[in-house]
Chain A
Amino acid sequence: MLTLNNVRKTFNRGTVNEKVALAGISLHLDRGEFVTVIGGNGAGKSTMLNSIAGVFPIDSGTIVLGGDDISRLPEHARAKYLGRVFQDPMRGTAADMQIDENLAMAARRGKTRTLRWGITKAEHESYASELAKLGLGLETRLSDKVGLLSGGQRQALTLLMATLQRPDLLLLDEHTAALDPKTAAKVLELTEQIVIEEGLTTLMVTHNMHDAIRLGNRLIMMADGKVIYDVRGEEKAHLHRADLMAKFEEAAGEEFSNDRMLLG
């Protein structure tokens, strides 16, 4: 489904702020895999997701998605393959537009926009039932401006928007990190429900080890722009936090004490 082959990305090349974010990373995802991604700060997790989404051009290597080489496609041209939820709840929705208008735009992800009316009656009704599944009471507020929603509601809406039209790959970039624990748990629960129901191939970056172990059927750990640990299936099911901590220690050496605090 997704293959990263020796992808490299260095920010601020040639300056004192030079930072190698991806150091020749290679990764292959099969269809239907739900992969959680962990790693310390600066490990390259978000850079990997943004490289796949085309937020910036990569320095070298190839990214192949569903048989198409998308390495050099602009961000908007990759959208037809990808559903994305960002860390910042403000980033995935248009605050001054209505809930149904946001959904209608998401339903047209990757399709050519025409001069047809932006939202049809039939889809308006289907949105109510889709929103009802979130269990947040949004189905009665279709014409409310998204700016009126809480961060958690916006994030749940973004999740629905990302999956409204089935994506080949779902990219979740710490999408619960900015939420309070209770809301985060709710959004994660919805994430699991949608991903499993639809059998979506998913990459989920998280800072929470517990979530990384509990969710998904594969886990990768990144450090210094590379995958340093990759575990799936039975082995992952029996994974414990202590195992991950040991891996971290092995990989990060002295920096470990810092990461331990961050990963709590």
Chain B
Amino acid sequence: MLLAFQGAVAQGVLWGIMVLGVYITFRLLDIADLTVDGSFALGGCVCAVLIVERGVNPLLGLVAGLLVGVVAGAVTGLLNTLFDIPAILAGILTQIGLWSVNLRIMGKANIPLLKNPNIFTGFAKAAGLPQNLATIIIGGIVAASLVAILYWFFGTEIGSALRATGNNEHMVRALGVDTRVTKLIALMVSNGLVGLSGALVCQSQKYADVGMGTGAIIVGLAAIVIGEVLGRLMPGKLRSFSSRLIAAVVGSIVYFLIRAIVLQLGLDPNDMKLLSAIIVALALSVPVVWERQQLRASYLKGGEA
């Protein structure tokens, strides 16, 4: 039982890096980027092939996962900005295309990494820690560094312009920034994180599968809304940018804990996707309904406020 929860936290941290990527497109750029399902699997597949077939250092495998994710994001970004294909459709096109690309890269539907070295077993052995704990520590360090890097990046001149692009494109162009470039950068950074996350998950679960990214975007959105709800429940000001990034990773951990609990309760793992979709749908619709209700309730018949 405890082992299952440890495993859930470990998974949550690694997937949390993908959630940071989704946060950039969904909350900062204000688009739902469906490339994610494809770029997550792409990162995992490339990492697996490099380690198993080329004997590449697992650390380099992670870098490769990140880089191919950046390329996938660039494809979506170029489709969107150069040819005005709506972002959601551009993402779907890249995602669908990547399915075939991933199969080509692996040459089969999945690759096991059981006997190959990976960063988690390496660290666990060296430090004498159980596998799950080693995964949590490494994942935590990577996630914390990425939160710090993203906090810095979005505070720079380019990062500010990028945040403003999701807010008010007209203004950003009027201030001399090419919004095509900012969107492209955002999609590349976002999918780079997603690819890195895919490579990390691949090493931690010791296999890569062409379907490992299916539904990743829903996991990402669910984690973001869970994180935001938790952030609102916390006392004090959790509105700063860094705390919102941290909340995204925490949301991912909580998501995988919930998942572990319902699986322990005997839920069919295949139903997990339905549950995720319901969580996201609820989280997105509850605030809307609540606000509408508040507006209705604030109506006074006599007109005397």
Contacts and interface: CB of A to CB of B under 8 A. Distances in A.
Interface of A: 53, 74-77, 79-80, 82, 84, 86, 90-97, 101, 104-106, 108-111, 113-119, 161
A74 B178 contact: yes
3 closest pairs, A vs B, by CB? Answer: A79-B176, A94-B167, A118-B160
B168 interface: yes
B178 A109 contact: no
Given A95-B168, A96-B167, A75 B159 contact: no
A256 B217 CA distance: 58
Contacts of B159: 118
Given A104-B160, A115-B157, 16 more contacts: A76-B176, A79-B173, A79-B176, A86-B170, A91-B168, A91-B170, A91-B171, A94-B171, A97-B164, A105-B172, A109-B176, A113-B161, A114-B158, A115-B153, A116-B157, A119-B160
Nearest to A90: B168
B52 interface: no
A105 B155 CA distance: 11
Interface of B: 153, 155-161, 163-164, 167-168, 170-179
A93 B174 CA distance: 10
Contact of B157 (A90, A93, A114, A161): A114
A190 B164 CA distance: 26
Given A101-B160, A115-B157, A118-B155, A53 B167 contact: no
B29 to A, nearest CB: 12
Contacts of B176: 76-77, 79-80, 108-111
Nearest to A145: B239
A114 B156 contact: yes
Mostly helix, strand, loop or mixed at chain B's interface? helix
Contacts of B178: 74, 76
Contacts of B171: 91-94
A59 B153 CA distance: 40
B163 A97 contact: yes
A42 to B, nearest CB: 22
B188 to A, nearest CB: 15
B164 A92 contact: no
Contacts of A116: 156-157
Contacts of B157: 108, 113-118
Given A86-B170, A94-B168, A105 B175 contact: yes
Contacts of B177: 76, 79, 113
Contacts of A96: 163, 167
Contacts of A53: 174
A79 B174 CA distance: 6
Contacts of B164: 94, 97, 105
Nearest to A96: B167
A113 B158 contact: yes
B161 to A, nearest CB: 5
A77 B157 CA distance: 17
Contacts of A110: 175-176
Contacts of A94: 163-164, 167-168, 171-172
A76 B179 contact: yes
Contacts of A118: 155-157, 159-160
Nearest to A107: B175
B168 A105 contact: no
A75 B161 CA distance: 16
Contacts of B173: 75-76, 79
Given A101-B160, A118-B157, A118-B159, A108 B167 contact: no
A75 B179 CA distance: 10
Contacts of B170: 86, 91
Nearest to B182: A113
A113 B168 CA distance: 17
B28 to A, nearest CB: 9
A76 B161 CA distance: 12
A123 B172 CA distance: 20
A101 B173 CA distance: 16
Nearest to A92: B171
A38 B173 CA distance: 26
A220 B177 CA distance: 32
B213 to A, nearest CB: 30
Contacts of A114: 156-158
10 contacts: A76-B179, A79-B175, A79-B176, A79-B177, A86-B170, A101-B160, A114-B157, A115-B158, A117-B155, A118-B155
Contacts of B158: 113-115
The interface centre, meaning the residue of A90, A92, A96, A110 with most chain B CB atoms within 10 A of its CB, is A96
Contacts of A92: 171, 174
